[in-house]
Structure 1
Amino acid sequence: MLPQTMIGRLHDGGYSCVIRKGDEERVFVRRGVADLYELLHTDPEFLNGAWVADKVIGKGAAALMALGGVREVYADVISRSARELLDREGIPVTCAFEVPYIRNRAQTGQCPVESLCSTTDDLQEMLEKITGFLESAGKR
């Protein structure tokens, strides 16, 4: 079961994500999937078997978590497609709110990564789409 202290730290510290494996806990502040993507590529062992507490989880973030082999997830807000993906991958999810989709930062439509990932259920294909998005945005 996900340690409750992680959820408290997520909120009290104003972090976007808190990830814990064993006795090590790391905090992240960037919005979107950049931190998860970077962690998956630079320290995948830390993600494998880790607990994740995140403010917002869309389908892209869920794909990165599944590819990383996370153990359990908490989200303040999770999209329906992200929850379905995590359920399909056997990753337990607790959330405060489930929404039809994650909105973009301007609140005018769907998050671009969520939109990119909406056309497939293949984790590798989603990873390729996220890589392309981050490269085009200069975040990789």
Structure 2
Amino acid sequence: MKELDFAKDVLEKEAYTLVIVKEGKVIFSSKDKGIKPMYTAVYSIKEKLEGASVADRIIGRAAAILCKYAKIKALYTKVISDSAVSVLKNSDILFRYEEKSLYIKNRDQTGICPVEQLSQDIDNPIILIDRIKSFLEDRKKENI
């Protein structure tokens, strides 16, 4: 998995939170936190993601559903949730991780990540994308 190793190296060396590689080139990268980078990639360049390799710092259930929807070929992550593993096991995605967690924690480390929570009761990526969009819009309003 040459491309996956390349994506992982770029992720670590450049301190990105998400790196997507296809045909030997970085086609998307971000230093944003949370679900925003994966959501942005799927929302803006989904048609280019099929067969790509992804390196991400943290993969929860929502991100795993988005990867499956985008037909990602391979995935590396530092931390993955149990529910993300379940999603990925029911896909064609080859995945590697360093640490598995019962769930992804929120930024305060006091409970479950809100995006992990909002994805628990669904498998439909279109509904999930709408929920993430609303979540990100609400977050943006709170920070204004």
TM above 0.5, yes or no, is yes
**Separation of aligned partners in 2, 1:75 and 1:97:** 8
Alignment of 1:84-99 (within 5 A): 84-99=86-101
**Separation of aligned partners in 2, 1:99 and 1:3:** 22
8 Å contact from structure 1 (residues 17, 54) kept in 2: yes
Gapped runs of 5+ residues in structure 2?
Answer: none
Letter in 2 for 1:9: V
Alignment of 1:37-56 (within 5 A): 37-56=39-58
**Separation of aligned partners in 2, 1:67 and 1:87:** 14
**Separation of aligned partners in 2, 1:40 and 1:129:** 14
Q: Go from structure 1 to structure 2 and tell me whether the alpha carbon gap of 1:122 and 1:45 turns closer, same or farther (over 3 Å shift).
A: closer
Q: State the identity as a percent.
A: 33
Shift of 1:122: 2.9
2:35 to 30, 33, 36: 33
2:79 alignment partner in structure 1:
77
1:10 alignment partner in structure 2:
11
The DSSP-based 3-state class of the residue aligned with 2:21 is strand
8 Å contact from structure 1 (residues 63, 127) kept in 2: no
Shift of 1:126: 2.1
User: Which stretches of structure 1, 4 residues or more, deviate above 3 A after TM superposition?
Assistant: none
8 Å contact from structure 2 (residues 4, 76) kept in 1: no
**Which one is further off, 119-128 or 62-71?**
119-128
8 Å contact from structure 2 (residues 18, 31) kept in 1: yes
How many residues end up aligned between the 2 structures? 139
2:63 alignment partner in structure 1:
61
**Separation of aligned partners in 1, 2:107 and 2:75:** 23
**Separation of aligned partners in 2, 1:43 and 1:90:** 20
